Amino acid sequence: MTKQLKPCPFCGSEYLFIDEIDYRLNEDIPEHLRDAICFAVVCYDCNARGCEKDTENKAILAWNSRISKSQKHINEIKAQAIEEAVKKADNETYIGVVGSDFPPQKQYKAEILAFADSLRLKHE
């Protein structure tokens, strides 16, 4: 069975691996962890590392869940930035060439705000 990993939430890479961490021989950690073998998903490209879990499947689940939460947060920030840019643009004065066809500003504004809303809905 192939285990499906979602892309890295930081760089978008799909070049990932599951790291097996063996604490049994490490004297620098607390004694109660010395019997542990843990697993974590790691990105080859940016070295992002997922949570250490006691099974490979739990590490994959944690990685895939984190991506959804991270991407939702990123999309919310993007949507807020778009809305702030639209508010700022509303306060600007634009000067055009007489007789030129200026794009219908209200239509573009509505499309931009709809895009911001779609970012929020993308990961619900």
pLDDT digit string, tens, across residues 49-84:
999 998 999 999 999 987 666 777 888 888 888 888
**pLDDT digit string, tens, across residues 27-44:** 777 776 666 788 999 999
41 in a structural domain: yes
- State how far the Cα of 86 lies from the Cα of 107, in Å rounded to an integer: 12
Range of the domain at 20: 16-121
Select from 7, 23, 24, 26 the least CA-distant residue to 15. 7
23 in a structural domain: yes
Q: Report the domain count for the chain.
A: 1
56 in a structural domain: yes
6 in a structural domain: no
43 in a structural domain: yes
- pTM here is 0.52
